[in-house]
Amino acid sequence: MTARQLFVLDTDVVIDVLRSRSPLMLERFSEHGDALTVSAVTVAELHFGAARSSAPSSNRAAVEEFLAFLEVLPFDAAAAAHAGEIRGALTAAGTPIGGYDVLIAGHARSVAAVLVTGNVREFSRVDGLRVVDWGDR
């Protein structure tokens, strides 16, 4: 039996879907359905964004409604170890990425998932992380 391929949605992808409901993105979501996940780190970012918005209650509700259809991956010790390794390697190379991005990259890599992001350029610097852009930007 072959293990299913997981896809971890980066925060920018979730925000794009919540804002635009892009037909191409919705088609990809339909295609990969039960393999779509988000990191608990992304959940924190989404709730932070909702709290800072001009309509916190409705945006929080939209986030919760969207997340109800996805598996939220808990950030565990393996994810933390991968994130630390990634941060160390990128810092040593002089090509660091943002703090939340390091955590999300580490999380996706720790579960051998493909990271779905609109920020391929940044995440492609992470060794061992598979990255794809499903957007039509």
Annotated binding-site members for Mg(2+)? 10, 101
Give the Cα separation of 125 and 9 in Å (integer).
Answer: 18
Give the Cα separation of 137 and 127 in Å (integer).
Answer: 25
- Binding site residues, as ranges? 10, 101
Closest CA to 26 of 55, 58, 72, 66: 66
In sequence order, the 6+-apart residues with CB closer than 8 A to the CB of 94 are none
Which pairing describes strands 130-132 and 114-116: parallel, antiparallel, or unpaired? parallel
